[in-house]
Amino acid sequence: MSSIELDHVSKLYANGAYGVRDVDLSIGEGEFVIFLGPSGCGKSTTLRMIAGLEGISSGDLRIGGRSVNNVAPRDRNIAVVFQSYALYPHMSVRDNMGFGLKMRGVARPLIEEKIREAAGLLGLTPYLDRKPAALSGGQRQRVALGRAIVRDPVAFLLDEPLSNLDAQLRAEMRLELVKLHRRLGRTIVHVTHDQVEAMTMGDRICIMREGRMIQVGKPLEVYADPVDTFVARFLATPPMNLLPARVEGRGDDLAVIGDGFTVEVPQMHRAAYAGLAGREVIFGLRPEDLHEAPQPGFSPIEVSVVAMESLGVENILVGQIGTGASGGKPLEISARLSRHFTAPVGARVPLHLDPRPMHLFDPETTRAFPRPSLRLVTN
């Protein structure tokens, strides 16, 4: 049994500040869960509490159904891979990997066999006699993983293990971790602040902010239906466009009107948003929902180009809309356009906005106003 349950778990520091606040989460056996959030949001603290390296101020933590609040790290049978890898510098790769088994009194031949197995799996066989100092960053990362694997723990806790690798290696290791998860079938909790890792690796994402877990769900669920403006902006680059606006009209004429844009609320959302008529809102739309070509139902806007970023597969247009008449600056907006679309800086270009995936947020609480989900992926 390797399920992990956090039952209203909090971490209160001596100075009265909460590191983690009332986290309630159930991680199923064999599940790959991502803790995502900006630095200082409490995700690593939560991970360390699961590992037993950090005390729990209140709440209950259960691993495999057993409450482990007062169980020492060594008795939880959980492996942690640290951001710094934390390899023992005075030991060879072989001894690093075998340390956990040695501590548990496993017989030497069995330790050797497990090390050989894990080293083969991770491509570390030629380096077994080297010290960590003589390894590259990627190899050290593998040793840290190997050290976790040989112990055959009930769960792996990974604390930003890929953040010290260069972009290409990170992409490779991302894939390898996913494969490893499939192969071992163990519960994995992966802490990261990288949205790509969050979107691509896990079964579920848990987004944390200021010690609280603000949204938990499948990656595409969270992407399609963020609970507030923070999640909306955090989960992608460029982030969701958030524009102050006002809901006007009624029935078929329900529209969201802001400085430089008017969006007719599509049929599917009218019932949900009808009650907002006359209210100030924040209009949210992802950059990929702005298009160069008009289509029925799309709303036209005019954007003056501030910058064009050509990424090869696509072009990101950063522009301004509106006049800033309401006292503020003109609103900044980004659009993910085809790689064939170019426009000089300063030009005014027409774009077309697909209103179906739109979101409306409460400007005071920043929470999303509920509306029917548009997700096409349901698994």
Which residues contact other proteins (rule: CB under 8 A)? Answer: 48, 51-53, 72-74, 76, 78-80, 82-90, 99-100, 103-104, 131-135, 137, 140, 147, 151, 164
Residue 191's nearest CA partner among 231, 217, 161 is: 161
| CB 78 to other proteins: min, Å | 6
Within 10 angstroms of residue 1's Cβ, the number of other Cβ atoms is 9
Pick between residue 65 and residue 89 the one whose CB is nearest to other proteins.
89
HEC profile of the chain: CCCEEEEEEEEECCCCCEEEEEEEEEECCCCEEEEECCCCCCHHHHHHHHHCCCCCCEEEEEECCEECCCCCHHHCCEEEECCCCCCCCCCCHHHHHHHHHHHCCCCHHHHHHHHHHHHHHHCCHHHCCCCHHHCCHHHHHHHHHHHHHHCCCCEEEEECCCCCCCHHHHHHHHHHHHHHHHHHCCEEEEEECCHHHHHHHCCEEEEEECCEEEEEECHHHHHHCCCEHHHHHHCCCCCCEEEEEEEECCHHHCEEEECCEEEECCHHHHHHHHHHCCCEEEEEECHHHEECCCCCCCEEEEEEEEEEEECCCEEEEEEEECCCCCCCCCEEEEEEEECCCCCCCCCEEEEEECCCCCEEECCCCCEECCCCCCCCCCC
Pick between residue 136 and residue 373 the one whose CB is nearest to other proteins.
136
Pick between residue 52 and residue 211 the one whose CB is nearest to other proteins.
52
Pick between residue 147 and residue 286 the one whose CB is nearest to other proteins.
147
| CB 348 to other proteins: min, Å | 48
| CB 19 to other proteins: min, Å | 16
| CB 105 to other proteins: min, Å | 9
| CB 144 to other proteins: min, Å | 8
Pick between residue 103 and residue 293 the one whose CB is nearest to other proteins.
103
| CB 158 to other proteins: min, Å | 12
Pick between residue 81 and residue 281 the one whose CB is nearest to other proteins.
81
| CB 111 to other proteins: min, Å | 12
Residues 183 and 120: beta-carbon distance below 8 Å: no
Pick between residue 87 and residue 263 the one whose CB is nearest to other proteins.
87
Pick between residue 73 and residue 239 the one whose CB is nearest to other proteins.
73
Pick between residue 18 and residue 82 the one whose CB is nearest to other proteins.
82
Residues 278 and 287: beta-carbon distance below 8 Å: no
Measured CA distances, 316 to 195, 224, 264 (Å):
18, 20, 25
| CB 103 to other proteins: min, Å | 3
| CB 350 to other proteins: min, Å | 49
